[in-house]
C-alpha cells in the first residue's frame, strides 16, 4: 500500500501479507488528535477498498508506556462546540471504517489504553494485552460519554452489568481483570505482545483470504440478527466461495498433501 507521508502513524509490513499499524505519538502516550483521526480513517478505508496483498493487520502503539491515552485533550482545550463536533465526526467515521474493515485487525495493547484508545482496541476483531497495564473508559469524568463505540462494544464483550459499572464509575481495571472477563484474548509478557499478535496474524494470513473475510463478515453481522436469518446470511457468504480458485486449490492441496498457495481469487 502506498501512503503519503504520515505524521501520526507508522506503517510497516511484517512478511508478505501482514501490515503493522502503529499509533506513533509516544511523546503524548499516542493520544488521538485530529490528524491521527484523518490518517486512521484513510488507512482503514484503503484496506477496505484495495487491500492489495494485505490479509491481516496488527494495530499497536509506539513506546512501552501506552497503546493510546485517548483523545488529545490539549488539542481539545478551548475547542468550540462546532469544532468539537467536526472533529468527532472524523473520529466516528474512522471507528466505523475500522469496525467494517474486511481485513482482520488484531489490537496489540503494549500499554495503557484509556477512553478513545480503549474504544479503538474494542473496534478491532480481538485483543492481546500486556500484563500489568491499566485500562478505562473514563469519559464521564470529562462531562461526555464514550463516543467511539464504547457503550456498544464493551457490553458485547463483558456483559451489560459489568460494562455499566466500568463506564458509569470510570474505574480503571487491569489487564488481568480484562482477561478474566473475556475482554482480552491473551495476556503477554512485557515486550512480547506485538510478537505474539504477529504470530497469530501470520496464521490468519496463511489461510484463504476470501474465506477469512467472509467468515469475519458472517460472524460480525450475524450476531446482529436472529439465528435463522444469521444462518441464511452465513450460507450466502459460504456460497460466494464455492466458485473461487482458492476453494479448488485448498481441496487439491489437501489431497496432494502439500501446503496450499492461496491467491485471493
| CATH number, residue 60 | 3.90.226.10
Residue whose cell numbers read 459499572: 165
Dump pLDDT digits (tens) for 199-208: 999 999 999 9
Angle 63-68-70 (CA atoms, 0-180°, nearest 5)? Answer: 150
Instruction: List Cβ neighbours of 137 (8 Å cut-off, separation of 6 or more).
Output: 114, 115, 118, 119, 146, 150, 154, 166, 167, 170
Q: Extract the residue ranges of the chain whose pLDDT is less than 70.
A: 1-4
Structural domain count, the chain: 2
pLDDT given for residue 132 in this prediction: 94
Tell me: do 234 and 143 sit in the same domain: no
Query: The whole model's pTM is what?
Result: 0.93
Instruction: List Cβ neighbours of 216 (8 Å cut-off, separation of 6 or more).
Output: 102, 104, 125
**Residue 263 domain-assigned?**
no
**Residue 262 domain-assigned?**
no
Domain span holding position 225: 209-255
pLDDT given for residue 2 in this prediction: 53
Tell me: do 31 and 99 sit in the same domain: yes
- Residue 160: active-site member: no
**Residue 218 domain-assigned?**
yes
- Residue 139: active-site member: yes
**Residue 184 domain-assigned?**
yes
Catalytic residue among 39, 53, 75, 139: 139
Tell me: do 111 and 237 sit in the same domain: no
Catalytic residue among 75, 82, 119, 189: 119
Amino acid at each position: 500500500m502506498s501512503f503519503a507521508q504520515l505524521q501520526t502513524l507508522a506503517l510497516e509490513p511484517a512478511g508478505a501479507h501482514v501490515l503493522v499499524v502503529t499509533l506513533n505519538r509516544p511523546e503524548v502516550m499516542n493520544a488521538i488528535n485530529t490528524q491521527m483521526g484523518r490518517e486512521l480513517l484513510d488507512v482503514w478505508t484503503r484496506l477496505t477498498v484495495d487491500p492489495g496483498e494485505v490479509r491481516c493487520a496488527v494495530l499497536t502503539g509506539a513506546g512501552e508506556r501506552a497503546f493510546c491515552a485517548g483523545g488529545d485533550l490539549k488539542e481539545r482545550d478551548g475547542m468550540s462546540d462546532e469544532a468539537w463536533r467536526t472533529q468527532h465526526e472524523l473520529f466516528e467515521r474512522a471507528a466505523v471504517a475500522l469496525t467494517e474493515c474486511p481485513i482482520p485487525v488484531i489490537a496489540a495493547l503494549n500499554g495503557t489504553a484509556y477512553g478513545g484508545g480503549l474504544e479503538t482496541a474494542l473496534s478491532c476483531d480481538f485483543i492481546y494485552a500486556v500484563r500489568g497495564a491499566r485500562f478505562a473508559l473514563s469519559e464521564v469524568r470529562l462531562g461526555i460519554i464514550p463516543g467511539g463505540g464504547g457503550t456498544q462494544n464493551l457490553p458485547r464483550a463483558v456483559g451489560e452489568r459489568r460494562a455499566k459499572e466500568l463506564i458509569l464509575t470510570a474505574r480503571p481495571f487491569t489487564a488481568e481483570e480484562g482477561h478474566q472477563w473475556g475482554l482480552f484474548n491473551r495476556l503477554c509478557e512485557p515486550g512480547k505482545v506485538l510478537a505474539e499478535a504477529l504470530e497469530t496474524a501470520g496464521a490468519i494470513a496463511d489461510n484463504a483470504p476470501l474465506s477469512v473475510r467472509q467468515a469475519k463478515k458472517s460472524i460480525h453481522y450475524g450476531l446482529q440478527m436472529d439465528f435463522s436469518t444469521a444462518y441464511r446470511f452465513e450460507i450466502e457468504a459460504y456460497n460466494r466461495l464455492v466458485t473461487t480458485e482458492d476453494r479448488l486449490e485448498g481441496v487439491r492441496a489437501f489431497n496432494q498433501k502439500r501446503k496450499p498457495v492461496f491467491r485471493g481469487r
